[in-house]
Amino acid sequence: MMKGIYLDNNATTMVDPAIVEEMMPYFTEQFGNPSSMHEFGNKVGFAIKKARKQVQALLGAEHDSEIIFTSCGTESDSTAILSALKAQPERNEIITTVVEHPAVLTLCEQLEKEGYKVHYLKVDTKGQLDLSEYRKLLSDRVAIVSVMWANNETGTIFPAIEMADMASKAGVMFHTDAVQAVGKIPMDLKSSKIDMLSISGHKLHAPKGIGVLYLRRGVRYRPLLRGGHQERGRRAGTENTASIVGLGKAAELALEHMEYENVTVAAMRDRLQEGIMDSVPYSFVTGDPDNRLPNTCNIAFEYIEGEAILMLLNKQGIAASSGSACTSGSLEPSHVMRAMDIPYTAAHGSIRFSLSRYNTMEEIEKVIEAVPPIMVQLRKLSPYWDGDRPVDEPEKAFAPTYA
Amino acid sequence: MWDYSETVKEHFYNPRNAGVAEEANATGDVGSLSCGDALRLTLKVNPETEIIEDAGFQTFGCGSAIASSSALTEIIKGMTLDDALNVSNQDIADYLEGLPPEKMHCSVMGREALQAAVADYRGEEWADDHEEGALICKCFAVDAVLIEDTIRANNLKTVEDVAHYTKAGGGCASCHEGIEEILTKVLEEKGEKFDPTADTVPDVESSPATLVAGASGMTNLQRIRKIEAVIESLRPQLQADNGDVELVDVMGDTIYVNMTGACNGCQMASMTLGGIQQRLIEELGSFVKVLPATEMPKSAAGV
């Protein structure tokens, strides 16, 4: 098989070979339990300590003890939100946004069933929030605000620092799901009012199955998993040592490459977007291009459906992802696209290209060449399309029964 | 990624009959834009013979929607309208060597486009007769709307009831939370509360009292007649899925049946057998085992 072009790094990333190398001894000779009172465990304990410091440095956290290793971003999100509710039983409201990842949204929907009041902040057509709406909702009834730092589908960046300040002034805990932002946006948490923050290892070239919850010192906390004294009793369960070591190394590399991500990767992304927009009519960029992760661009191709686009891209070895309903098996297109009021005929054809530092400009040029013929091919099959343009008044010309 | 058959992929990469059929005199537009699938089917029907001489499709949809549209046009070309109307969504799925459960609605859309186009040709009104909800049971492709309607129509109370009436939840059981939620909602409308322990079918295997009473209460002939009647009552449900079942033999507590049509060789056949067994146990009040006739001992099979 030819080497594929991987532009789906917001889904998951390749584990950096340097990280694999760093991890290997912890599967073999360094197999000890860090809690054990012997030499086998002792060295592993030191390795975890080092990893904690590496993550601390990437986040700009004040103390390394503010880093709690978990199993994934979802666990970190659940831990943060449920902890805030448990620690403040007198508060029964949550503020979040309509465009969160399912890790937060599905939990919030469940909490609603259990009697909590959840406020979902809406977004405008660029996917941005109305901070005055947010300000009005902050009250002493709110247990926690949970707002993503950057959106996984569009790359749109929310003003997490400012929103944390506002929450702090109102005496409300602030959590941010930063799984897409960490390693791409420089952070200095010690100078912020962010109380809790979630990381997912596999989004920054560490393996799957490892995450972090940053917990500011002094924030009232209740663990999700109780048991042994691991992570100072804040997350019981034997440490996933090899992956913790891997995540530490990944954090170190992410810090080293922060500039590269924001300059070189961003330039490749810009070239990709420009190349596609120049050659494919009836397409547009979704989200907020002026406030966006350096590696992400999401383009909606009108009158065609995303899964079909992905299958044809995949045939040429190009990997991306889509906000179409069909790729997830649900009946609705991406909630993020719908929240931005993107019409169905475009939402289903939205494609996310997410790059990493392992992509090259040569790959980008290949993708720019491959995309336009695919759109022509699929539009030929579309009932909304006629020749080289959409049919006149497409939504009227083709209005199927039970739409 | 979806587990698409080679035939699905082939029809997607090289769709047959794409575009509007020339000299088309029938059109069917169906689909659901919100769920990302929509299909326009055009037919050229010979007015003398009612034979479909040509068919074309235009599809806004995913790989399997395009493949289902392509397969549909291939299947119906050369058929009379009446014969074409007998094409089921299962026929389309079979033609494509199967579709993932989440994608079965693509084949349903194909069949509906055909009905709509025929209605258009005959100057009739076509109304879609079902609404699709979120897929709850992935083993048997049962959606929320069907479960809700069935609960209402039959006053169902438990997850087990829902499995008996709709098959939903009768497979891997992962969707039981979802079914409980639907039960809670529907029962609330009637001012009732969902009770997970209510009216559950007694576990016959572990209640010997029922077993003895049931087993001793019938003559052999009565018993076989009862088995026949139960199997007969289950046939319409299977036939709706283009399958069927027939009773082959009864040997003690083992009942041998033949699964035919879409049930034969279907990956759900073993689960369907489980469902038949469950129903027989309830009706007979004693434990029985239902096996495919292929597992009958050679001598007994009359070789």
pLDDT digits (tens, 9 = 90+) for B8-48: 999 999 999 999 999 999 999 988 666 678 899 999 999 99
In the predicted model, what is the mean pLDDT of chain A? 94
Q: What is the DSSP letter of A261?
A: I
pLDDT at residue B204 in the model: 39
Question: Coil, helix or strand for A93?
Answer: strand
Q: How many residues are recorded in chain A? A: 403
The count of C-alpha atoms lying within 13 angstroms of the C-alpha of A88, restricted to the half-sphere facing its C-beta, is 19
Among this protein's residues, is B35 annotated catalytic?
A: yes
What proportion of chain B, given as a percentage, has pLDDT over 70?
86
Alpha carbons B172 and B187: distance in angstroms, whole number: 25
Q: How confident is the model at residue B301 (pLDDT cuts 50, 70, 90)?
A: very low
Q: How confident is the model at residue B201 (pLDDT cuts 50, 70, 90)?
A: very low
Residue ranges of chain A that CATH labels 3.90.1150.10: 258-390
Whether residue B37 lies within 8 A of chain A, CB to CB, comes out as yes
| Option in A311, A325, A329 nearest B12 (CB) | A311
Q: How confident is the model at residue A52 (pLDDT cuts 50, 70, 90)?
A: very high
pLDDT at residue B215 in the model: 43
Size of interface A-B (CB pairs under 8 A): 111
More confident residue, A158 or B267: A158
Q: Which residues of A are catalytic?
A: 326
pLDDT at residue A195 in the model: 98
Dihedral, A314, A315, A317, A323 alpha carbons, nearest 10: -10
| Beta-carbon separation of A326 and B13 below 8 A | no
Residues of A in contact with B21 (CB under 8 A): none
Q: How confident is the model at residue A7 (pLDDT cuts 50, 70, 90)?
A: very high
Residues belonging to chain A with any Cβ–Cβ distance to chain B shorter than 8 Å: 303-308, 311-312, 315, 324-327, 329-333, 344-345, 348, 380-384, 398-403
Helix B104-121 and helix B63-76, axial crossing angle in degrees, nearest 10: 40
| Cβ-based burial of B265 (10 A; exposed 0-12, middle 13-18, buried ≥19) | exposed
Q: What is the DSSP letter of B201?
A: P
In the predicted model, what is the mean pLDDT of chain B? 83
- Backbone angle region of B201, left / alpha / beta, with phi > 0 → left and psi within -120 to 50 → alpha: beta
Residues of A in contact with B8 (CB under 8 A): none
pLDDT at residue B69 in the model: 95
**Interior angle at CA A211, CA A210 and CA A214, nearest 5:** 155
What proportion of chain B, given as a percentage, has pLDDT over 90?
40
Mean pLDDT for A335-358 is 94
| Option in A324, A331, A401 nearest B132 (CB) | A331
pLDDT at residue B216 in the model: 44
| Beta-carbon separation of B34 and A331 below 8 A | yes
- Contact by Cβ (8 Å): A107, A58: no
Residue ranges of chain B that CATH labels 3.90.1010.10: 6-121
Q: What is the CATH number of domain B135-189?
A: 1.10.10.1100
The CATH class of the B204-295 domain is alpha beta
| Cβ-based burial of A239 (10 A; exposed 0-12, middle 13-18, buried ≥19) | buried
Q: How far is CA A245 from the centre of its chain?
A: 22
More confident residue, B132 or A6: A6
Alpha carbons B268 and B137: distance in angstroms, whole number: 13
Residues of B in contact with A303 (CB under 8 A): 60
pLDDT at residue B269 in the model: 64
Residue recorded with tokens 């405008």? A124
- Contact by Cβ (8 Å): A127, A339: yes
Q: What is the DSSP letter of B296?
A: S
More confident residue, A339 or A327: A339
Of the listed ranges B1-10, B26-35, B204-213, B252-261, the one predicted with least confidence: B204-213
Q: Which of A307, A302, A296, A320 is nearest to A370 (CA)?
A: A320
Q: What is the CATH number of domain A258-390?
A: 3.90.1150.10
Q: How far is CA B177 from the centre of its chain?
A: 22
DSSP H helices, A14-141, are 17-23, 39-59, 73-87, 102-113, 131-137
Q: How confident is the model at residue B205 (pLDDT cuts 50, 70, 90)?
A: very low
Mean pLDDT for A395-399 is 78
Separation in Å, CA B63 to CA A306, A362, B57, B92, B160: 9, 29, 14, 14, 35
**What are the pLDDT digits (tens) for A228-267?**
999 999 999 999 999 999 999 999 999 999 999 999 999 9
pLDDT at residue A399 in the model: 77
Alpha carbons B74 and A345: distance in angstroms, whole number: 27
Residue recorded with tokens 């087990």? B160
Judged against a pLDDT cut of 50, whether residue A350 lies above it is answered with yes
**What are the pLDDT digits (tens) for A262-296?**
999 999 999 999 999 999 999 999 999 999 999 99
Judged against a pLDDT cut of 70, whether residue B173 lies above it is answered with yes
Q: How confident is the model at residue B129 (pLDDT cuts 50, 70, 90)?
A: low
Question: Coil, helix or strand for A243?
Answer: helix
Q: What is the DSSP letter of B79?
A: -
Structure tokens at B114: 């055909």
Instruction: Residue A12: count other Cβ atoms within 10 Å of its Cβ.
Output: 15
Q: What is the DSSP letter of B203?
A: -
Q: How confident is the model at residue A163 (pLDDT cuts 50, 70, 90)?
A: very high
* Phi, psi for B136 (deg, rounded to 5): -100, -60
Judged against a pLDDT cut of 90, whether residue A226 lies above it is answered with yes
* Phi, psi for A140 (deg, rounded to 5): -80, 5
Judged against a pLDDT cut of 70, whether residue B263 lies above it is answered with no
| H/E run at residue B244 | strand B243-251
Determine which one of B62, B106, B175, B266 is catalytic. Answer: B106
Residue ranges of chain B that CATH labels 1.10.10.1100: 135-189
| Option in A312, A383, A402 nearest B60 (CB) | A383
Alpha carbons A128 and A270: distance in angstroms, whole number: 21
| Option in A305, A345, A384 nearest B62 (CB) | A305
Taking CA–CA distances from B38, the nearest residue in chain A reads A400
Residues of B in contact with A326 (CB under 8 A): 35-37, 61-65, 103
**Interior angle at CA A317, CA A315 and CA A321, nearest 5:** 85
Q: How close is the nearest chain A Cα to the Cα of B259, in Å?
A: 30
Q: How confident is the model at residue B213 (pLDDT cuts 50, 70, 90)?
A: very low
Residue ranges of chain A that CATH labels 3.40.640.10: 17-256
Judged against a pLDDT cut of 90, whether residue B5 lies above it is answered with yes
Q: How close is the nearest chain A Cα to the Cα of B19, in Å?
A: 6
Whether residue B211 lies within 8 A of chain A, CB to CB, comes out as no
- Backbone angle region of A329, left / alpha / beta, with phi > 0 → left and psi within -120 to 50 → alpha: left
Q: Which of B11, B155, B159 is nearest to B72 (CA)?
A: B11
Taking CA–CA distances from B184, the nearest residue in chain A reads A113
What amino acid occupies position A343? Answer: P
Judged against a pLDDT cut of 70, whether residue B99 lies above it is answered with yes
| Stretch 81-110 of chain B: residues touching chain A, C-beta under 8 Å | 100, 102-103
Please give the order of strands across the beta sheet that includes A211-215.
Answer: A67-70, A211-215, A196-200, A173-177, A142-146, A93-97, A117-121
**Interior angle at CA B86, CA B82 and CA B88, nearest 5:** 150
Judged against a pLDDT cut of 80, whether residue B272 lies above it is answered with no
What amino acid occupies position A94? Answer: I
Q: What is the CATH number of domain B6-121?
A: 3.90.1010.10
Judged against a pLDDT cut of 50, whether residue B208 lies above it is answered with no
**What are the pLDDT digits (tens) for A92-124?**
999 999 999 999 999 999 999 999 999 999 999
Candidates 3.40.640.10, 3.10.180.10, 2.70.98.60, 3.40.50.10310; correct CATH number of A17-256?
3.40.640.10
